[in-house]
Amino acid sequence: MWSASAGIAALACVAAPALADTCVRADFEAAVNSAAKTLRGLSRKNTPDFQGRLKTLKEKRGWTHDQFLKEAAPLVQDERTMDFDRRSNAVLEEIQRLGAEGANAEKPDCAALAQLQRHMAALVSIQTGKWDYMFSRVDAELRK
């Protein structure tokens, strides 16, 4: 699993332009692309492992396919995972707004770029937290 700090560290290379007095539209695109790449990597790394653990749980419990769908659902969607999703959606809306403003601005605003980068790092952190939480739930069930 990735840690939140590893995901955020992956975005650090994009943060440098925000410290400068000038930035360009490409910096906004690079910030979004970097975070998107990090999020895809997070999903690509965790999804197979998570699905494997769910399969192991299904086999351990001797669930049929229908039982598995019913019994495993709370492990992947509960109030806490929905909170992760709500927080992610709120950050995504802000990212889209800042990204559009930055890409369409006559003169890119470096302060907005820094804010965009912070939101991208927050999104990675939220998604990392969600994965960590879901893994912990499945692992707890596997130990029973």
**What tokens does 112 get?**
């907005």
Reported as a single tens digit per residue, the pLDDT across 33-52 is 888 898 999 999 999 999 99
DSSP string, 59-110: HHHT--HHHHHHHHHHHHSSHHHHHHHHHHHHHHHHHHHHHHHHHH-SS--H
Q: Is the pLDDT of residue 11 over 60?
A: no
- Taking the CB of residue 136, how many other CB atoms lie within 10 A of it? 12
Proportion of the chain in helix, strand, coil states, percent, rounded to 5: 85, 0, 15
Nearest-angstrom CA–CA distance, 36 and 70: 32
Nearest-angstrom CA–CA distance, 38 and 131: 14
Average pLDDT, the chain: 85
Reported as a single tens digit per residue, the pLDDT across 53-102 is 999 999 999 999 999 999 999 999 999 999 999 999 999 898 888 877 77
- In this prediction, residue 5 has a pLDDT band, given cuts at 50, 70 and 90, of very low
